[in-house]
């Protein structure tokens, strides 16, 4: 039986999570469309993959992305029939997902998977007012992720799109690479249970 979602577009494919996601979905036989503001980087990163479509759009500019989905990209999406979009954008681009979602709805995409990887941002303990310092980076990241999820829920309730949240828990490899979990010089680590 063929999966319901066969053709997948990915935004943020060249990042830490994007690369393994693209590689595994490609190995599993999904038809992939990779969106980027500079497709040459993606073409170089994924040069060994067959059957991948590379689409250039300014993914940080909501209006440009909507034009891409409604214009050239929409025609391409209808031709290849995008079923789902996976957003693997980093923390600086979380809020731009609202534009991706709007464009996906306009283009008739069935499912959207937001960049919700990491901590379960819907967990009740994350709503405790004393958990974060006011306006801390963590608080702002969780607030943006919760905002995206609330927007998806609202659209899902109106039967405009479906969505899936994937919470993997803390990703230690990311913390080591971007030095956010461990501060080696001061011998300080931050672990939440």
pLDDT one-digit tens code per residue, 37-79: 778 888 888 988 887 888 877 766 666 665 555 444 544 554 4
Residue 17, classed as helix, strand or coil, is coil
CA dihedral 121, 57, 174, 171 (to 10 degrees): 40
pLDDT on residue 112: 95
pTM of the model: 0.77
Neighbours of 53 (CB within 10 A): 17
Q: Which helix (H) or strand (E) holds 33?
A: strand 31-36
Q: What are the structural domains, with CATH classification, of the chain? A: 7-189 (3.40.50.720)
pLDDT of residue 25: 94
pLDDT of residue 153: 96
Q: How far is CA 13 from CA 10, 122, 144, 183, in A?
A: 6, 25, 20, 28
Alpha-carbon span 176 to 182, nearest angstrom: 7
Q: Are strands 7-11 and 31-36 parallel, antiparallel or unpaired?
A: parallel
> Which ranges of the chain have pLDDT less than 50?
70-72, 74-75, 78-79, 174-180, 182-183, 192-193
Residue 175 has what pLDDT? Answer: 47
Cβ neighbors of 32 (< 8 A, separation 6 or more) are 7, 8, 9, 10, 22, 25, 26, 49, 51, 52, 53
**In whole angstroms, what is the distance from residue 183 CA to residue 121 CA?**
24
pLDDT for 177 equals 44
Q: Where are the alpha helices (DSSP H) in the chain?
A: 18-27, 39-45, 62-70, 72-80, 97-107, 137-157, 172-178
Q: What is the pLDDT of residue 178?
A: 45
Question: In the prediction, which pLDDT does 127 show?
Answer: 59
């Amino acid at each position: 039986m063929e999966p319901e979602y066969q053709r997948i577009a990915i935004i943020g494919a060249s990042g830490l999570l994007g690369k393994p996601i693209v590689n595994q979905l490609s190995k599993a036989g999904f038809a992939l469309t990779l969106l980027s503001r500079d497709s040459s980087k993606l073409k170089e990163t994924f040069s060994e993959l067959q059957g991948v479509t590379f689409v250039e759009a300014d993914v940080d500019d909501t209006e440009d992305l909507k034009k891409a989905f409604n214009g050239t990209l929409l025609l391409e999406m209808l031709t290849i029939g995008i079923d789902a979009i996976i957003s693997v954008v980093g923390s600086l681009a979380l809020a731009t997902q609202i534009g991706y979602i709007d464009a996906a709805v306009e283009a008739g995409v069935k499912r959207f998977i937001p960049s919700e990887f990491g901590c379960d941002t819907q967990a009740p303990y994350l709503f405790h007012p004393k958990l974060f310092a006011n306006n801390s980076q963590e608080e702002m990241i969780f607030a943006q992720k919760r905002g995206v999820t609330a927007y998806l829920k609202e659209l899902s309730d109106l039967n405009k799109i479906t969505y899936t949240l994937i919470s993997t828990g803390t990703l230690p490899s990311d913390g080591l690479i971007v030095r956010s979990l461990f501060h080696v010089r001061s011998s300080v680590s931050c672990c939440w249970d």
